[in-house]
Amino acid sequence: MRAVGAVGGAFVLALTATGCGLGADLGGKGEKIAIGIKFDQPGLGLKTADGSYAGFDVDVATYVAKKLGYSEDDIVWKEAPSAERENLIKNGDVKFVVATYSINEKRLKEVDFAGPYFLTHQDLLVRGDEVSITKVEDLNSKKLCSVTGSTSARNVKEKLAPKAGLQELGGYSECLAGLEDKKVDALTTDAAILAGYASQQQHWGKFKLVGLSLSDENYGIGLKKGDTALKGKINKALGEMVSDGTWRKLVRKHFSLSSYKSEPAPAIQN
């Protein structure tokens, strides 16, 4: 973290102590910007054992922040669990959220979105030697795993394969362990999330994506409702990220070690 002057340092400490202000656009070199990311999604947003942060969303957020005038050292990373993303934005705890944040009508009633910057689909992850699951209907005689309360799991269970044996666990890592131990036959969520887990070194070759498109998930950058100026700046940065080749490099960096085939960069909705 870069040193700041005594007055500036005291100001930042005061903001931290009150629990507010980090999301504000303070402006000026060396001041901070708080950004919400996932801390538990390999390949997308992960807080590593050494306390650093890695993933596609982390790199996208860092690129956008730099275009807004903030260095990497100026970023304060905030954990943004799915259920808390809108609150973090509305309360001003973060300036924006980059956290596998699918744009949908319900969320648009509470926050605005820049982007989208990534398009993925709900898919299935299976063992690398699995040959009996090639379509979603094959799950009707199989055991399916997802996290507790997952909309992806309900989508399969209620609409696509109602006879699937659904097991809901606390986290995707638990589902992966069950998949590896043959206690379940498939794991479902967004393909990009599945690919992140499959790309971890300890999982190389053990799992594969089936390659289905069970839903369209356009990831956007969430920001405060009505902040059209910030939305325009972020959209401009995202456009430059695609045009200068950075977007494609980041996709290769984070997803090339799995069987995931990403979609082209989606058109930004101004």
On whether residue 261 sits in a domain, the answer given is no
- Output the pLDDT for position 149: 64
- Residue 16: CB atoms within 10 A of its CB come to 13
On whether residue 200 sits in a domain, the answer given is yes
- Output the pLDDT for position 17: 39
- Output the pLDDT for position 203: 82
- Output the pLDDT for position 5: 43
On whether residue 263 sits in a domain, the answer given is no
Q: How many helices (H) and strands (E) does the chain have?
A: 9, 13
Note the pTM of the prediction, 2 decimals: 0.80
- Output the pLDDT for position 259: 66
Cα–Cα dist 18/259, whole Å: 46
- Output the pLDDT for position 258: 65
- Residue 182: CB atoms within 10 A of its CB come to 9
Cα–Cα dist 32/3, whole Å: 12
Domain housing 126: 122-209
What CATH number has the domain bearing residue 184? 3.40.190.10
Same domain? 111 vs 228: yes
DSSP assignment of 50-61: TS-EESHHHHHH
Same domain? 147 vs 200: yes
Same domain? 190 vs 59: no
- Nearest Cα neighbor of 77 from 103, 100, 57 is 57
Cα–Cα dist 33/4, whole Å: 14
- Nearest Cα neighbor of 4 from 36, 34, 28, 23 is 28
On whether residue 270 sits in a domain, the answer given is no
Same domain? 42 vs 109: yes
On whether residue 262 sits in a domain, the answer given is no
Same domain? 36 vs 145: no
On whether residue 201 sits in a domain, the answer given is yes
- Taking only the tens place, the pLDDT of each residue in 28-48 is 456 899 999 999 899 999 999
Same domain? 231 vs 111: yes
- Radius of gyration in angstroms for the set of CA atoms belonging to the chain, rounded to a whole number: 19
Same domain? 91 vs 60: yes
- Output the pLDDT for position 148: 76
Domain count, the chain: 2
- Output the pLDDT for position 262: 84
Mean pLDDT by 10 residues, the chain (270 residues): 42 39 47 95 93 97 98 96 93 97 93 97 94 94 85 83 90 89 94 87 87 92 98 98 97 79 90
43 is written with which tokens? 């390949």
Q: What is the DSSP letter of 22?
A: T
102 strand-pairing partners: 219
